[in-house]
Chain A
């Protein structure tokens, strides 16, 4: 069983598709992950399972992989989280996710308006969305993650590499949206906005539910304090811009709601 734990999770799932349901029962959603190159061992350790849950998971896994055989179940060491809630800097990142998710929620309605093509007003709206994604979601929020939070952890680990890759894929979708606007290709704009929305929804879920709780438990008080101070420096660098983007989100929600009630 130990050998299995050192294998790449996607490979193992491909070989034993029945594992999908078992992992899903324990809220381990690797099947839908865009990369999934993590080791089985890392995946189990990073999810907040109690020792009883971990045993139940391994028992179910063993029944699929070694049917009818008795295998010794491994016990993985995990750092138990003593903290009940997120530390302030992590809480801030979760709060920023909420703003990004509000914009993602609006994308289907925006895409509907694109079915009729790209007129000047729609180009304007899409370029405002691109501006929000590039400056709020990417420069402001992802900079706090990539330049500060992730630096406290092993960036070569597959888990963080996956997060970085998601950020990069998101950037590529945004570039494709901009190109679509320039070429007047409404279908390409809609396609890449939708893909960006799907990517970030899953990415944020992974961070909020798995990565951040794990990081929160690993960081010591001294690191939390330094991270908090570094985030204040980022806020200072961006000045009033994040607040202006938040106001823009509220206006955009209001304008799309109005449009919806008129049609």
Chain B
């Protein structure tokens, strides 16, 4: 599997030592998800929760890596998720992002990706859609490390 040297699928082990990680049962964390569905092929970009919304476009792996995803990023936002490496039919993705910007008149778009190189494809896709759209919206990107640290956060 690693013969190609792809950093996106290279196996790594960063399990925490038991004493630090599991000190008693964790308190339940409330979900900040305010809609369904969330997969980019399944969502309707004109759904009411996208109108004038602050929208997150998140790579599939992000919510698993980023410990504080619900409270720090999802809260107050609408979301769609996608994988730029494995998903098919990504032309439809570009169209949906354009509909968000031009027709649902979203307020901001935040793209959250993993640090692996192939994940940049999702940001490129969003930028392409934003360039094709007639309206302009502030576009932000966030890069998350495999261990859930924020490596970059910036407006484009």
Q: Which residues of A contact B108 (CB under 8 A)?
A: 221-222, 224-225, 228
Q: For the complex, is B149 an interface residue (Cβ under 8 Å from A)?
A: no
Q: Is the CB of A82 within 8 A of B153?
A: yes
Contact of B54 among A82, A85, A221 (CB under 8 A): A221
A83 to B108, CA, bound (A): 15
Q: With a CB–CB cut-off of 8 A, which chain B residues contact A222?
A: 54, 76, 107-108
Number of A-B contacts (CB under 8 A): 45
Interface residues of chain B: helix, strand, loop or mixed (majority): strand
Q: Contacting A84 at CB < 8 Å: which of B54, B107, B136, B154?
A: B154
Q: Are B153 and A84 in contact (CB under 8 A)?
A: yes
Q: Is B107's CB under 8 angstroms from A86's CB?
A: no
B136 and A83 form a contact (CB under 8 A): no
Contacts of B154 in A (CB 8 A): 83-85
- How far apart sit A226 and B137, CA to CA, in the bound complex (Å)? 10
Residue of B nearest to A86 (CB): B155
A229 contacts partner chain B, Cβ-Cβ < 8 Å: yes
Q: Which residue of B lies closest to A224 (CB)?
A: B138
Q: From the candidates B140, B150, B152, name the one contacting A221 in the complex (CB within 8 A).
A: B140
Question: Contacts of A148 on B, CB cut-off 8 Å?
Answer: none
A228 to B150, alpha carbons, bound, how many Å?
A: 25
Q: Indicate if the CB atoms of B153 and A87 lie closer than 8 Å.
A: no
Residues of A participating in the B interface, judged by any CB pair closer than 8 Å? 82-89, 91, 221-222, 224-226, 228-229, 232
Q: Can you list 29 pairs linking A and B with CB atoms under 8 Å apart? A: A82-B150, A82-B153, A83-B153, A83-B155, A84-B152, A84-B153, A85-B154, A87-B155, A88-B155, A89-B138, A91-B155, A221-B54, A221-B77, A221-B107, A222-B54, A222-B76, A222-B107, A222-B108, A224-B108, A224-B155, A225-B54, A225-B137, A225-B138, A226-B107, A228-B108, A228-B136, A228-B137, A228-B138, A229-B107
